[in-house]
Amino acid sequence: MSAPAGPRADEGRRAASIDVAFTAAEIRPARVAVVIDVLRATSTIVMALGAGYRRVLCTATPEEARGLREPGRLLAGERHCRPIEGFDYGNSPRAFDEARGEDLVLCTTNGTPAILSALSAAEEVLIGSLLNLEALVERIPTGEDVIIVCAGTGGRFALEDAYAAGRIVARLEGSWTDAARAAERLANSYGDTYEPLAQSADAAVLRETDQTADIEFCAQESISALVPKITPAGSQIAVASVGLDAEEARAGVGGVLEGEEAVNR
Amino acid sequence: MSAPAGPRADEGRRAASIDVAFTAAEIRPARVAVVIDVLRATSTIVMALGAGYRRVLCTATPEEARGLREPGRLLAGERHCRPIEGFDYGNSPRAFDEARGEDLVLCTTNGTPAILSALSAAEEVLIGSLLNLEALVERIPTGEDVIIVCAGTGGRFALEDAYAAGRIVARLEGSWTDAARAAERLANSYGDTYEPLAQSADAAVLRETDQTADIEFCAQESISALVPKITPAGSQIAVASVGLDAEEARAGVGGVLEGEEAVNR
C-alpha cells in the first residue's frame, strides 16, 4: 500500500489554532495548554524540579497545601508575593538549588489556580517560563490546537506573562487568534527579556518586598531543558513532573485520591 | 488668601491611573470609562449621531430594542454580524448618512453590552472609535483615572479594539497599567489603522458576510468631532448623545424609567 492518509488527515486540513488567554477567564478548550506565570510560580516549578524534587504538588489554597504535609514533603508558596506562615519556602525560584525532600507542595496566588483551570480545558498541560523557553517550544506538538494560559494577576492582564506568551507564539506555526497575534507583536517590541519583566506591576511588588533579584533571575532565557507536565491528582491538586507517567505522578499524593488511584487513565 | 490647595489636591499627589480592559470581565472602577467597539458598534454610534439622530438608545438584547419601538424611532443592530429580523438597519456605520427619525435604537452582540457594563464602573462613560479619535482624546479629562473598555468578541480579546485602545493610551498622561502599556506597544507596532483592523477575527467575519467595506470605513481616523456621552436610562438602556444633559438624554425613553425620571442626577 502506498502511504495512506493517517488518522490525523482530517485535522491536518485546517491549520492548528494558536491561542493566548491573557487571563484565566479567557481559557478556551484546546488539545495542549501551556501555563505561564513568569513572576514567579512556573519559574519556581522549573527550578524546583531541576533541583531534584521529583514532583511539585500544586494547590489553590494554603489550607490544601497544609493538608498534604507529610515526611519528605516541603511546602512553598506566597500570598500576594509574601511568604505563608509555617511554609518552608516562599515562591522565589532562587531558593531551589537543592532538594530537601521528595515532593514540593506549592501554593501561589495566581499561578497554581491557573494550572488547575488549564487542566479543565486541555488534555495535555505543560509548564512554561522564560527559563525553559527553548525546550518548551521544542516540546509543543505541531499541528495541534494550543492555548497559552497567562496566570495574570488577580484576574488582570500581566505584562510579563503576555510577553512570554508572545515569545512562544512566535515559534508556533498555525492560525493565530487575535490574542496570539497581539502577544507576538508585544513580545517583538522588546529588545531583551528583562525590560518587559521589570516594567510589570508584579515586578513593582517584588521591589517593594525586597525580592528584586527574582526579576533578573526569571528573565534568564533557556537555562533549563526541563518541560514539566501536569497530571491531575484529585480535583484540587495538580502534579508537575518530568519523566513520570500519570500513575507515578499521582501515586500516594493524598487522601483526595481514594477511589481514583485504581483508575488507570 | 493665597491660592490654597483645591479640592483635588489629594488626588493630584498620585498619578492618574490609565487602564485598559481587553474584555468586559476585566472592567475595574474608574472615574471615566471609554468604550470601544471599532467593528462596529461604537463607530456606528458616532456616525448615527453625526447623521442627525438626537439619541442612540443602546440595549443588550433584541427584545429590549423591540420594546422601545415607537414613532420617530428606528431600530438597528446585529447578532454575530448579521441583521436582526424586523430591524430597520444592520450595524454598518456606512448606513448612516441621514437621520430618518429622532432616535436610533441599537442592539449589538458585544458593543451595547459593554456600554452597559461600563456604566456600572465609571461616573462618566464616553464612546470611542477611530472615527472620532482626536476629538475623544481632547475630551478625556486629564488627571482622572481612566479605563478604556474594549468590547472584545464573545468575551475574547479583539485585535481592532486593543489597537484603538493603545492609540488612546498613547495620548494620555498618567500611570499606565500593564494592559495599557501592552496596548500602547501593540498600537505602536502598526504603521497604519487599516492593517490591525483587517487582521482581526471580526474582519474575517465581515468579509464572509459581504460587509468588507465596513473595515475600511471604520479604519478612517478622526473624520468626526463628536464624542458621544452615555447616560443610563433604566437598568438595561444606555443613551448615547452629544450636547444633551442627563435629563434630556433620558426623557421619555421608555416604561422602565417610571419613578426615575423625577430624579435630577
pLDDT digits (tens, 9 = 90+) for B16-57: 999 999 998 999 999 999 999 999 999 999 999 999 999 999
Q: What is the pTM of this model?
A: 0.91
Task: Collect all residues with Cβ–Cβ distance below 8 Å to A147 and sequence separation of at least 6.
Answer: A19, A20, A21, A27, A28, A29, A30, A32, A33, A34, A118, A121, A122
Minimal CA separation from B103 to chain A, in Å? 34
Q: Which residue has the higher pLDDT, B152 or A258?
A: B152
Q: B156–A179: do the CB atoms touch at under 8 Å? A: yes
Instruction: Specify the pLDDT at position A13.
Output: 62
By Cβ distance, the residue of A25, A28, A188 closest to B25 is A25
Question: Quick check: A195 contacting B, CB < 8 Å?
Answer: no
* Alpha-carbon torsion (B86, B91, B97, B99), positive or negative: positive
The pLDDT > 90 percentage for chain A reads 86
Q: What local confidence, expressed as pLDDT, does residue A254 receive?
A: 78
Residues of A in Cβ contact (< 8 Å) with B185: 185-186, 189
Partner A contacted by B194 (CB < 8 A): no
Contact A177 B186 (CB under 8 A): no
Chain B residues near residue A156 by CB distance under 8 angstroms: 26, 28, 177-179
Q: Is the pLDDT of residue B7 over 70?
A: no
pLDDT value of position B13: 62
Q: What angle do CA A220, A223, A224 make, to 5 degrees?
A: 130
What is d(CA B88, CA B242) in angstroms, rounded to the nearest whole number? 23
Q: Which residue has the higher pLDDT, B172 or A254?
A: B172
- Residues of chain A found within 8 Å of residue B22, distances taken between Cβ atoms: 22, 157
Tell me the pLDDT band of A87, cut-offs 50, 70 and 90.
very high
Q: Range with the lowest mean pLDDT among A13-17, A101-105, A125-129, A144-148?
A: A13-17
Has residue A7 got a pLDDT over 70? Answer: no
Confidence of residue B261 (pLDDT cuts 50, 70, 90): very low
Predicted confidence at residue A141, as pLDDT, reads 95
Provide mean pLDDT across the span B82-95: 94
Q: Do B26 and A157 touch (CB under 8 A)?
A: yes
- pLDDT at position B85, please? 94
| Span A21-50, average pLDDT | 97
What's the CA gap between A101 and A72, in Å, rounded? 5
User: Looking at the partner chain, which of A26, A28, A159 has a beta carbon nearest the beta carbon of B181?
Assistant: A159
Distance, in Å, from the CA atom of A158 to the CA atom of B239, rounded to the nearest integer, reads 34
Please name the member of B157, B178, B199 whose beta carbon is closest to the beta carbon of A179.
B157
Q: What is the mean pLDDT of residues B186-206?
A: 98
Residue A264 has pLDDT above 50, yes or no: no
Rounded to two decimals, the ipTM of the complex is: 0.91
> Do A156 and B182 make contact, defined as CB atoms within 8 angstroms?
no
User: Beta strands of B6-141 (E only): which ranges?
Assistant: 17-21, 30-36, 55-59, 73-79, 82-83, 103-107, 122-128
Q: What is the mean pLDDT of chain A?
A: 91
Q: Name the helix (H) or strand (E) containing B229.
A: strand B229-232
Write out pLDDT tens, residues A167-197.
999 999 999 999 999 999 999 999 999 999 9
A24 vs B10, which has greater pLDDT?
Answer: A24
Closest Cα in chain B, distance from residue A37 (Å):
15
Amino acid at B246: A
Per-residue pLDDT, averaged over A17-41, amounts to 97
**Residue A81: CB partners within 8 Å, gap ≥ 6?**
A91, A109, A202, A205, A206, A209, A211
DSSP designation for A100: S
CA–CA min distance B196, chain A (Å): 10
Counting DSSP H helices and E strands in chain B, the numbers are 11, 11
pLDDT at B219 over 70: yes
A169 touches chain B (CB under 8 A): no
Chain A nearest-CA distance from B232, in A, is 27
The pLDDT of residue B12 is 47
Contact across the interface for B182 and A181, Cβ inside 8 Å: no
